[in-house]
């Protein structure tokens, strides 16, 4: 699932007329970088939630020939948790990748998506979140990452790379949505529940990571992409 329904407020005025996932980064809509990673991994089916300027995204994905795309429309953005809940009928009953649409990353060695899939343990996990070393992150805002990324639930914790941040890339099982009411809410509510039940885990990323949520972040990302294959 690709999360793409937000207003993109921090990218105004660009997002007054263009939905954030279609704002260009180095000449390409930012969402295409995640699509490239999913295509390379072998994903064939995508669910994407849309709301703000959704007609543009619907048109964009109507021309997509590499994936079978299901659109989950929201009358107004429902935030990360509400977006997952609204899309629940399309997600089936198997673990799924969940990726924010404003995330770009490089892989050092094995790919992040393959490492996540190989690490997933359905018997013990509801969420497996990719964690990024903050010192190598571009475009990270202050947040509550420390609540979720701890030495005891992070597989391969490296003190030299800490602190870590949540990357906006991970795997979750749709069963976490069954007893969740609809409406607007943050996925952090689901994370906290899973954490309390010892079913939320993190996996450090090997590579670079970029969040393109503001114009300065885009400019810095574009400058650094000249030196990395992505």
190-218 pLDDT tens trace: 999 999 999 999 999 999 999 999 999 99
Dihedral angle of Cα 6, 8, 14, 16, to the nearest 10 degrees: 60
Q: What is the pLDDT of residue 139?
A: 87
Stretch 8-12: mean pLDDT, rounded?
92
Give percent of the chain above pLDDT 90: 90
CATH of residue 37: 3.90.550.10
Neighbours of 19 (CB within 10 A): 26
Stretch 72-86: mean pLDDT, rounded?
96
Alpha-carbon distances, residue 56 vs 20, 22, 47, 104, 129 (angstroms): 11, 8, 16, 21, 30
What does the mean pLDDT of the chain come to?
A: 94
**Which residue, chain included where needed, has tokens 């899973």?**
194
| Residue span of the structural domain in which 194 resides | 2-225
The answer on pLDDT for 87 being more than 90 is: yes
230 lies in a domain?
no
The answer on pLDDT for 229 being more than 70 is: no
Q: What is the pLDDT of residue 181?
A: 87
What is the distance between the alpha carbons of residues 172 and 190, in angstroms, rounded to a whole number? 10
pTM: 0.94
The answer on pLDDT for 228 being more than 80 is: no
The answer on pLDDT for 128 being more than 80 is: yes
Q: What is the pLDDT of residue 53?
A: 95
Q: What is the pLDDT of residue 141?
A: 72
Stretch 39-66: mean pLDDT, rounded?
95
The answer on pLDDT for 91 being more than 90 is: yes
13, 31, 16: which is closest to 168 by C-alpha?
31
The answer on pLDDT for 151 being more than 90 is: yes
Stretch 136-146: mean pLDDT, rounded?
84
Q: What is the pLDDT of residue 166?
A: 96
Give percent of the chain above pLDDT 70: 99
Q: How many domains does the chain have?
A: 1
What is the distance between the alpha carbons of residues 224 and 221, in angstroms, rounded to a whole number? 5
The answer on pLDDT for 221 being more than 80 is: yes
At residue 143 the predicted structure's pLDDT band, cuts being 50, 70 and 90, is: confident
Q: What is the pLDDT of residue 230?
A: 67
């Amino acid at each position: 699932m690709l999360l793409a329904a937000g207003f993109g407020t921090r990218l105004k005025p660009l997002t007054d007329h263009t939905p954030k996932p279609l704002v260009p980064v180095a000449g390409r809509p930012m969402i295409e970088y995640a699509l490239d990673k999913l295509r390379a991994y072998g994903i064939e089916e995508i669910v994407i939630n849309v709301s703000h300027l959704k007609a543009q995204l619907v048109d964009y994905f109507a021309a997509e020939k590499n994936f079978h795309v299901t659109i989950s429309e929201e009358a107004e953005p429902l935030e990360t948790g509400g977006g997952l809940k609204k899309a629940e009928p399309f997600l089936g009953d198997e673990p799924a990748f969940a990726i924010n649409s404003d995330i770009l990353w490089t892989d050092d060695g094995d790919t992040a998506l393959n490492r996540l899939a190989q690490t997933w343990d359905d018997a013990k996990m509801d969420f497996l979140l990719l964690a990024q070393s903050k010192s190598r992150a571009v475009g990270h805002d202050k947040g509550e990452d420390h609540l979720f990324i701890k030495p005891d639930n992070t597989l391969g914790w490296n003190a030299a790379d800490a602190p870590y941040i949540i990357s906006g890339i991970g795997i979750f099982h749709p069963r976490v949505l069954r007893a969740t009411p609809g409406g607007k809410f943050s996925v952090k509510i689901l994370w906290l529940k899973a954490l309390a039940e010892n079913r939320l885990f993190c996996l450090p990323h090997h590579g670079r990571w970029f969040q393109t949520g503001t114009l300065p972040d885009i400019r810095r990302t574009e400058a650094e992409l000249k030196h990395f294959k992505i």
